[in-house]
Amino acid sequence: MSDIILGIETSCDDTAVAIVNAEGHVLSSIITPQTEIHTQFGGVFPEFAGRAHIATILPTVHKAFAAANVSPQDIRAIGVTRGPGLIGSLLVGLNTATALGMGWNKPVIGVNHLRGHLRSADLEMKRIKFPAVILLVSGGHTFLAYMKDPLDIKLLSSTRDDSVGEAFDKVGRMLGLGYPGGPLIDKMAQEGQATIPFPRPMLHQGLEFSLSGLKAAVSRYLDTTENPVFPDVAASFVQAVMDILIKKCRMAIAKNPCVSLVVVGGVAANSQLRAEAAKLCQNMGIELCLPPLCWATDNAAMIALATWDYINTDNLMPPIPQLQLPISDF
Amino acid sequence: MSLILAISTSSTLFEVMIGDNSTVLFNDAYVLSITDKKDISVLVAESLAKMNLTPQDIKSIIVDVGPGGTSLVRTGVAFGNGLAYSLGIPICPVLSVELVGIEVWEKYVLPVVITVKSVKDSAYVALYDGKLKTVQYGIMTEVVGNLIANCQEFVVAGAHRAQIITAFPDKKIHDSGVLNGSPKYLIEKHDSFKEKYVTFPQFAHPITEQTTHIAANTPSV
């Protein structure tokens, strides 16, 4: 029986298609980004995201097969993100996937996008050592989870308001950096000094996150300060976020027996987070598992790899959209 | 047999039809509800099964590309495109307002103004007179006013029928009573859509406010 999966990911603003085998070897991964479309809005405009997906999904599928040098008959199944995500974007991926499955006579499995992110750390080689504490930080999600094994996942905490990626985008807009804010703030922060004492909301209050207060503090500072030094603002904001993330990770590791910390999601590409997480793990005597930068942001290879978990456990979830989907669910 | 699969999802009534040449052989529909786990793929699969057909028996697809509910339209178009691509068959995009125009014009043989709601006061406005003359997007009353400037008698269909009759008291306006078009015309009139068929790398695109103009030099009757 074939051991390759076609993965399709359209939960937000990237149309991504990949072909991956059971060991996590990526035969092809094609991402058609929509950055140009959303830059003018300073964030993802959901209606335009859906429109762009429908224009790009078939060419992206076609390129993925060509790059992998395989035919549709070679695949075992199609794994497609069913949620969480933007409904207009999810519907394009799900309906395209079900149609492809019908035409090629292949099963189509609805995959939890968050489980995809967790599996991203195992693409191309197995990196995660179990049990593990997971920090998922992206534009849509910020949470800590405990992963006893690849299938047993428990949510430890999440954000009460903004996700880290959302806060980066909004502060990026305040600093006139454009979209997406994450990489641009990261770059600007490296040119500044973290001298501004922005608050660290809920730093000592359990594992939950709250970032809206920090974002508001940056806005107030910019409104009330004459000639603010933007690189210093960026560096101080990033430092505040890092202090929160690292502190919460330390608490989660202390409370939950684990041998590794896994940092995934788009913000896992942040250089300062990677460096500070490495320092934390060294201090606590555990391993740090990071996906390579290319798998940190949304991609379909992680969805294809996660699909194997669904097949192996016979959790063949239907490709029906679910806007809210906890990490603990298949 | 050269079987055609017709898909319409521009309103909450999802419809699937299977036809041969210009004859509807089978049709099925359901009203979409938020608690319904059914989707267009299930409807298509059930329709094929009831006719004892496989997807490979379908030789072409014809799909309603709106205007209508934006996510709903995309659902049908994404499915139609994906199925056409996977089966290696052509797909034909047809505007929902053209289906309304065909139905109403056959009865009245008069120009038909068709409107579809959009955000705030804006609407998609189409003019059908034996064939689809134009589709425009903008403030509904303004666009309709321009289109019927030289027309004393016409028929209204779609979402703003009463509003148009009230807004233009000096015109002789017939209310068709038709809100949405019947997808049966996707099959019955498929010969008239023949030149719209495309195969990958081309495929169907839902209409948007930026892609409305199909007849640039026909702004009025």
Q: What is the DSSP string of chain B?
A: --EEEEEE-SSSEEEEEEEETTEEEEEEEEE--TT----HHHHHHHHHHHTT--GGGEEEEEEE--SS-HHHHHHHHHHHHHHHHHHT--EEEE-HHHHHHHHHHHHH-S-EEEEEE-STTEEEEEEESSSEEEEEEEEHHHHHHHHTTT-SEEEEEETTHHHHHHH-TTSEEEE----S--THHHHHTGGGGGGG-B-TTS------TTS--S-TT----
User: Do A102 and B75 lie within an 8 Å CB cutoff?
Assistant: no
Sort residue A133 into left (φ over 0), alpha (ψ -120 to 50) or beta.
Answer: beta
pLDDT at B154 over 50: yes
User: Do B85 and A318 lie within an 8 Å CB cutoff?
Assistant: no
Q: Which residues on chain A place their C-beta less than 8 Å from a C-beta of chain B?
A: 47, 50-51, 54-55, 57-59, 61-62, 72, 87-88, 91-92, 94-100, 102-105, 318-320
User: Do A58 and B85 lie within an 8 Å CB cutoff?
Assistant: yes
Chain-centre distance for alpha carbon A295: 9
pLDDT at B108 over 90: yes
Which residues in chain B touch residue A61, judged by CB atoms under 8 angstroms apart?
A: 85
List, for residues A3-31, the tens digit of each pLDDT value: 999 999 999 989 999 999 999 999 999 99
Q: Whose CA is closest to B94, among B171, B15, B17, B192?
A: B192
Q: Is the entire prediction scored with pTM above 0.90?
A: yes
Mean pLDDT over residues A176-201, rounded? 92
pLDDT at A214 over 60: yes
Q: What pLDDT is attached to residue A217?
A: 97
Mean pLDDT over residues B162-169, rounded? 97
Mean pLDDT over residues A74-93, rounded? 96
Residue in A47, A91, A102 closest to B78 by CB: A91
User: What's the CA gap between B112 and B127, in Å, rounded?
Assistant: 6
Q: What pLDDT is attached to residue B215?
A: 39
User: Do A51 and B206 lie within an 8 Å CB cutoff?
Assistant: yes
Secondary structure E strands in A148-229: 153-158
Considering chain A, what percentage of its residues have pLDDT values greater than 90?
81
Q: What pLDDT is attached to residue B34?
A: 54
Gap between the terminal Cα atoms of chain A: 24
pLDDT at B205 over 80: yes
Other C-beta atoms closer than 10 Å to the C-beta of B201 total 9
pLDDT at B216 over 70: no
Residue in B39, B82, B200 closest to A96 by CB: B82
User: What's the CA gap between B132 and B102, in Å, rounded?
Assistant: 9
Sort residue B59 into left (φ over 0), alpha (ψ -120 to 50) or beta.
Answer: alpha
| R_g (Cα) of chain B, nearest Å | 17
- Nearest chain A CA: its distance from B179 CA (Å): 24
User: Do B81 and A100 lie within an 8 Å CB cutoff?
Assistant: no
- Nearest chain B CA: its distance from A100 CA (Å): 5
The residue of chain B with its CA nearest to that of A104 is B86
Identify the band that residue B217 occupies on the pLDDT scale cut at 50, 70 and 90.
Answer: very low
Chain A to chain B Cβ contacts (< 8 Å): 89
Mean pLDDT over residues A41-52, rounded? 88
Mean pLDDT over residues B133-158, rounded? 96
- Hey, of A71, A98, A104, which one would you mutate to test binding to chain B, going by the most B CBs within 10 A of its CB? A98
Q: What sign does the CA torsion over B68, B70, B73, B77 have?
A: positive
User: Do B79 and A91 lie within an 8 Å CB cutoff?
Assistant: no
Which residues in chain A touch residue B205, judged by CB atoms under 8 angstroms apart?
A: 54-55
Which residues in chain B touch residue A47, judged by CB atoms under 8 angstroms apart?
A: 70
Mean pLDDT over residues A231-251, rounded? 97
Residue in A50, A55, A104 closest to B71 by CB: A50
Residue in B40, B44, B77 closest to A54 by CB: B77
User: Do A47 and B70 lie within an 8 Å CB cutoff?
Assistant: yes
- Nearest chain B CA: its distance from A102 CA (Å): 7
Residue A157, CB-side half-sphere exposure with 13 Å CA sphere: 20
Identify the band that residue A180 occupies on the pLDDT scale cut at 50, 70 and 90.
Answer: confident
Q: At what angle do helices A113-120 and A301-312 cross, to 10 degrees?
A: 100
Q: What pLDDT is attached to residue B218?
A: 39
- Hey, of B5, B14, B39, B65, which one would you mutate to test binding to chain A, going by the most A CBs within 10 A of its CB? B39
- Nearest chain B CA: its distance from A33 CA (Å): 18
Residue A133 forms beta bridges with which residues? A146, A261
Which residues in chain B touch residue A55, judged by CB atoms under 8 angstroms apart?
A: 205
Other C-beta atoms closer than 10 Å to the C-beta of A115 total 25
- Nearest chain B CA: its distance from A95 CA (Å): 5
The residue of chain B with its CA nearest to that of A322 is B37
Which residues in chain B touch residue A32, judged by CB atoms under 8 angstroms apart?
A: none
Residue in B45, B76, B208 closest to A102 by CB: B45
